Amino acid sequence: MLAQQLFDDAAEAVVTKAVTMSLEGNIGALGITVKNIIPPRRHRPCDFPLPPLVTAGDAAPAIAAVLSAVAGGLLSTAEAAELSQVIDAFLRALEAGAVEARLQRLERVNGIVA
C-alpha cells in the first residue's frame, strides 16, 4: 500500500521524465513511453457511415454497403465482420420484438392473462 502511494505521488514526475527522455532520443525511454504510458489502441473508431437501420428491410442495403466498402478498400474484412454482427444483432432484436408482439396479440384474442 505504501509503495502504491509513493508511485501515485511520483507518477506525474515519472511520466514527464520518460517523455522528456524520449524526446531527447533515449530509445529505451521511448519504448517505455510508447508501450506503457501510451497503451496500444485495441479498436479504432470506424469512419464508415453505416446506413440507418430502422426496419428489417434496411439490413440488406446496409450489408451491401459494408461489402462495397470492403471491395473499395475503405473497410478491412475484420471491420466488415464486426459491422455485420451489429446488423445481425439488429435483425435478431427486431425478430424478438415481432415474436413478442404476435404472442401478446394471440393472448389477447384467446383471453389469456399472462
pLDDT digits (tens, 9 = 90+) for 40-58: 666 677 788 999 999 999 9
pTM: 0.57
Mean pLDDT of 84-95: 96
Q: State residue 72's pLDDT score.
A: 94
Which residues, other chains included, contact 2 with Cβ-Cβ below 8 Å and sequence gap of 6+? none
- Whether pLDDT at 14 is above 80: no
Neighbours of 62 (CB within 10 A): 19
Distances (CA, A) of 22 to 12, 19, 32, 34: 15, 5, 9, 9
- Whether pLDDT at 66 is above 90: yes
Distances (CA, A) of 110 to 82, 96, 99, 102, 113: 42, 21, 16, 12, 9
Residue owning grid cell 489502441: 41
What is the pLDDT of the chain when averaged over all its residues?
85
Mean pLDDT of 56-79: 95
Nearest to 59 by CA among 83, 82, 81: 83
Q: Where are the domains of the chain?
A: 2-37, 56-109
Query: 105: number of CA atoms within 13 Å, CB side?
Result: 6
Confidence band, pLDDT 50/70/90 cuts, at residue 37: low
Q: State residue 63's pLDDT score.
A: 97
- Report percent pLDDT > 90 for the chain: 46
Q: State residue 80's pLDDT score.
A: 94
